[in-house]
Structure 1
Amino acid sequence: MKRLIFAVAMMGLCVLVPTARAERTNVIVMLVDDWGWRDAGCFGSDLYETPNIDRLAARGMKFTNGYAACTVCSPTRATMMTGMYPGRTHVTDWIPGHVKPKDDMQVPDWTQRLELKHTTLAEAMRAGGYHTAHVGKWHLTPRSYDSAELEPYYPQNQGFEINIAGNQWGAPGSYYYPYRRGKQTGIKSRTVNFPADIPEGRYLTDMLADHALRIIKQWGDEPFFMYWATYAVHTPLQGRADLVKEYKPKIKPGMQHNNADYAAMVTAVDEALGRLVDTLEAQGIADRTVIILTGDNGGLQGRSTDNSPLRAGKGSAYEGGVRVPTVIFWPGVTPPGSVCDEPVITTDYYPTVLEITGVTGNAQHNASVDGHSLVPLLKNPDAQFDRDAIYWHYPHYHPGGASPYAAIRARDWRLVEFYEDNHVELYNLADDIGEKHNLAKSNPAKAKQLTDKLHAWQKTVGAQFATKKSQ
């Protein structure tokens, strides 16, 4: 597999697309794994030091209501590539998901891969004259130990000229080279593959940065789209040793965030972002490169981080499972230090990237894209935004607390419908960001309005449902 990815990478570096390249805008989407809403200095952490993320927010726009398309990773990643809600793609759980005999409901026959019928964002960008690179976590293939079943769904067959470290695994076996779990070898070892020899013990986040920056330097002035999906800050919790040592004496009693390993992992991601910005500036292309920084789902509550004041975390039906830090920097366009309170979600990045770059994409695919371009908001955070609601659909179980549910956010209102017992919960996030006061009984009219709207949306996208096992 290493030889395959190396060959794909080298072929990608040699591709020449004839256009007037120098004026075109580059785009880098940096997706951080399991990144909680408060897990950066500019989002209120009392421990995690993120000077580069903070600097990006000071130069660009911070979104206080940024959302992932799902409470777990694979669905959000499929949404990033398609612009479609998980309810529409039917990639509705992390691959391969949790199945327990004692669960009350039977999960649907959902799609455990990113189907090749979709025009991915990478395919659209490549057809539009852009170089394309995937760096990091993919996790959109079938769960299989047969390379022949996996390779058609790897990034290099989904529009990316270059694939660095993207395979079927959702987490590394270790954050230190050779990045495998224990003494296992081969496809079962959770090895993260790189197309080059690596120094023993090289930290994974740093190695991903090494390759991302090498690609940018080799492309020079040619326009590119890079999807950099960090494995961090997903478990295993292994901070870089020097950063863990720095953090341990900084942790004091009563602090919200108090895990030195996790803090070190966050800071390693921040350092990678800093190296990225430095490289763009050294290459003379920083002024025409957009950076989108966001997360795939909420933070892993308790074990890794604390999402307070949000309720719960990854794998739950509540805000802590889906609200994520989001920062976008578009040089010369985003007002420096601006803050946008409009709810935005993963579906939006596909049309946003197309509009920023002027790439048209595939008309048939675009007709099914659920997202809205954020360009009006990037120019003016207070602009009128023509959307009345965003949605989630998760017909599964998760150890983070979720049972089959769906949810809608319409302005300040958020309604969650649980399918085991068919009850709904209604919250006004403007007054109750922690979702402590269920208003469904005291405001039945609003609950019915949002439930009806949610059901209509589910019908529109063709959502699949869990069913009672007795049926």
Structure 2
Amino acid sequence: MEANHTLVNRPNFIFILLDDMGWKDLGCYGSSFYETPHLDRLASEGMRFTDAYAASPVCSPTRASILTGKYPASLGITNWIGGDAKGKLLDAPYLRYLPLEEKSMARALKEHGYRTWNVGKWHMGGKDFYPEKHGFDVNVGGCDWGSPHKGYFSPYGIETLPDGPEGEYLTDRLTDEAIRLIQQKDQAPFFLYLSHYTVHTPIQAKAEDIAKYTEKAKKLGLDQLSAIEEGELFPCEHKKHLRVQRRVIQSDPVYAAMIDNLDWNIGRLLQALEETGQAENTVIIFTSDNGGLATAESSPTCNAPLQEGKGWMYEGGVREPLIVKWPGTIKPGSVCEVPVTSPDFYPTLLEIAGLPLLPEQHSDGISFVPLLKGEDSLEREAIYWHYPHYGNQGGTPGSSIRMGNDKLIEFFEDGRVELYNLLADLGEEHDIAKERPDLAEKLQKKLSQWREQVEAKIPVPNPEYTQSF
């Protein structure tokens, strides 16, 4: 244990991780239907990132990446739900747990005197790999489930969270638990990993909040518009008889109510920090684990102008809201356009805390403290993704690279590539691979070299595949 005077001077951390929240699901990111005054205020007091990325278009890989500072492909955790056995390609092998030999961000902070608390979703393995095994002193609500077992109203059926009164709402309860922890008086700093299940399916909210947005949708005339567009055929060969069910406007009152309730709870958490005198010594990070659910499973949100959503490697699947508040350091209301990604959080928090970096652990992450202090660049050549699986939402196996403003996606089923300039084409509507074959070849080569470097698993042909239509 370090000297008490050193611990007292170190900041607290609250890392708020949302589930399936899209890039445009906040008012400060452009939503005119969802109301998020508390999160908008947080952005006005801190820094909002326009080009923040999840390490994967699905949840578990991103969560593992955040806590280890490694890309999912480096960890071998590239999916959670098993792949489609009927596909043209076999699902690439992957780990279904976070290995204990990984020194998590929580463990690194704990070794320097931090109190470490997980409140909410875990989704990185069974009991032998729960938060307590990865450096967390407290685990409230974290288990192997990726969504609320019995829904958002008590009884929850979550083994690490005792049921509350009948009808209690899960987001309220997890916030209550978080507030209870930060109200504890102790000289040691804390790391609160508040991982809300919301807005993952099932889409459920309180009746009064639903009524608010049902009325708002009527006033805006949204209830008279066609919200779901039957889009193009699924890109994976074995589902080409199906069409993408894409939401084209934000108008779902139940989803909006979930976000409204989340925002209210963020306000409660911020108020508790103020009341306990800890607001000025607490760094707050708010982000999501993958893009909004926009193409399947009732498609509750719309990520436009971004293409597609959860389960896809287009921007709608991986670009995330990210807000960071660091009192006394970040210029209030600042906006950063430099790309950052999930592995970067680990070295960033260590540097903010004044702790030694662990490059052998967070090998894929780069501290973005310089950006928080007002600089406008990072020493990084490219950001990578590897998702060798069929997404439940329509995405197909592939890899991707962003270098500068150029982004290339390589699809494994047919070997094709797509190339986009995100500065000119944020919606990835104009594939320029044929116009710029030199650039496409350069990026594809770099992507291939990276896959070899991290020993990424590649799906192989399915010998039992037959096209049935």
> Structure 2 CA distance, aligned partners of 1:118 and 1:219?
31
Give SS of 2:443's match. helix
In the alignment of these two chains, the number of paired residues is 432
Tell me the alpha carbon deviations over residues 156-215 of structure 1, each in whole angstroms, 9 at most, x when there is no partner: 1110000000000000121000124xxxxxxxxxx36325x6222110000000000100
- Offset, 1:275: 1.1
Give SS of 1:65's match. strand
Aligned pairs for 1:172-321 (under 5 A) are 172=148, 173-180=150-157, 191=158, 193-195=160-162, 198-251=164-217, 252-254=220-222, 256-302=249-295, 303-321=299-317
Of residues 437, 441, 448 in structure 1, which corresponds to 2:430?
A: 437
One-letter amino acid of the structure 1 residue matched with residue 323 of structure 2 = V
One-letter amino acid of the structure 2 residue matched with residue 332 of structure 1 = G
> Structure 1 CA distance, aligned partners of 2:308 and 2:430?
15
Partner of 1:186: none
One-letter amino acid of the structure 2 residue matched with residue 416 of structure 1 = I
One-letter amino acid of the structure 1 residue matched with residue 105 of structure 2 = L
Tell whether 2:92 aligns with 1:108. yes
Partner of 1:167: 143
> Structure 2 CA distance, aligned partners of 1:414 and 1:402?
17
One-letter amino acid of the structure 1 residue matched with residue 427 of structure 2 = G
> Structure 2 CA distance, aligned partners of 1:293 and 1:221?
25
Give SS of 2:55's match. coil
- Offset, 1:314: 0.3
Tell whether 2:361 aligns with 1:370. no
CA contact 1:124–1:360 (8 Å) conserved in 2: no
Give SS of 2:67's match. helix
> Structure 2 CA distance, aligned partners of 1:178 and 1:17?
42
> Structure 1 CA distance, aligned partners of 2:275 and 2:379?
39
Aligned pairs for 1:30-179 (under 5 A) are 30-94=16-80, 97-141=81-125, 150-172=126-148, 173-179=150-156
Give the unaligned 5+ runs of structure 1: 1-15, 142-149, 181-190
CA 1:398/1:363 → structure 2, altered by over 3 Å: closer, same or farther? closer
CA contact 2:69–2:361 (8 Å) conserved in 1: no
> Structure 1 CA distance, aligned partners of 2:268 and 2:285?
15
Partner of 1:10: none
- Offset, 1:363: 5.9
> Structure 2 CA distance, aligned partners of 1:374 and 1:458?
24
Aligned pairs for 1:318-467 (under 5 A) are 318-360=314-356, 362=358, 364-366=360-362, 369-380=363-374, 382-467=375-460
CA 1:350/1:338 → structure 2, altered by over 3 Å: closer, same or farther? same
Tell me the alpha carbon deviations over residues 26-81 of structure 1, each in whole angstroms, 9 at most, x when there is no partner: 11110000000100000011111101110000000000011100000000010011
- Offset, 1:365: 2.2
> Structure 2 CA distance, aligned partners of 1:18 and 1:241?
50
> Structure 2 CA distance, aligned partners of 1:43 and 1:386?
26
> Structure 1 CA distance, aligned partners of 2:331 and 2:3?
33
- Offset, 1:18: 5.5
- Higher mean alpha-carbon deviation, 128-137 vs 19-28, is at 19-28
CA contact 2:85–2:91 (8 Å) conserved in 1: no
One-letter amino acid of the structure 2 residue matched with residue 202 of structure 1 = E
Runs of 4+ aligned structure 1 residues displaced above 3 Å come to 361-364
Tell whether 2:4 aligns with 1:19. yes
> Structure 2 CA distance, aligned partners of 1:40 and 1:307?
11
Give SS of 1:64's match. strand
Tell me the alpha carbon deviations over residues 106-160 of structure 1, each in whole angstroms, 9 at most, x when there is no partner: 122211100111000011010011000001000000xxxxxxxx32200011100
> Structure 2 CA distance, aligned partners of 1:164 and 1:272?
17
CA contact 1:176–1:202 (8 Å) conserved in 2: yes
> Structure 2 CA distance, aligned partners of 1:446 and 1:128?
46
CA contact 2:106–2:116 (8 Å) conserved in 1: yes
The alignment's TM-score, normalised by the length of structure 1, stands at: 0.89
The percentage of aligned residue pairs carrying the same residue is 45
> Structure 1 CA distance, aligned partners of 2:43 and 2:187?
25
> Structure 2 CA distance, aligned partners of 1:464 and 1:224?
37
